[in-house]
Amino acid sequence: MRASALVAGLVLSSCATQSSSSAPPLETEFGGTWTGAASFALAGKFAVYYSVPVVIAVSGNTVSDENICPMDTRYLTTKSDRLLPPSLKATGSGAAAAWGGSLECPTVELIGCDAVAVTYTNATLTLSGINRLTVVALGKARGCNTSYPVILTFVGAK
């Protein structure tokens, strides 16, 4: 009886491991250029709203977002020597992907501070409905002798 319970437990454990490691791929709808509104906000400070295209590539269980760093806007300008932006690579399945780590963006100029360094530590990308992408990224902004939690929210459509 114990042996059969042990074998049944191992079989169930094996099935659970197989199903979690072979998650279905991300929906191909993630891929493409999304246009929408972004909100870049420092906790306890102002939020900057701007329009931005977000270009996403999808491959299996991975999506790459090339525009996660703050972009040029009227109130949020990047330095002219800015190189290609870092890319965020999130993993998931179906209509959701998530990322965690450390992604450092080039320094930007904000009102009242000419050098703010943004570092994101986690992000989620979610598809809803037929044609809606939501990206939420959290991290820290440091500059001008202070540090603030930061949140970037993007909602867009193709």
Q: Alpha carbon of 69 to those of 31, 65, 107, 117: distances in Å? A: 19, 10, 10, 10
Burial status of residue 119 (CB atoms within 10 A of its CB: 0-12, 13-18, 19 or more)? middle
Which of 115, 121, 152, 116 lies closest to 139, judged by CA? 121
Percentage of the chain modeled with pLDDT above 70: 75
Comparing 79 with 137, which gets the higher pLDDT? Answer: 137
Domains and their CATH numbers in the chain: 24-157 (2.40.128)
pLDDT at residue number 18: 40
Comparing 63 with 16, which gets the higher pLDDT? Answer: 63
End-to-end CA distance of the chain: 59
The answer, yes or no, to whether residue 5 has pLDDT greater than 50, is no
Residue for token pair 């949020």 = 76
- Residue 26 CA to residue 65 CA, distance in Å, equals 14
Q: 15-24, 56-65, 71-80, 81-90: lowest mean pLDDT where? A: 71-80
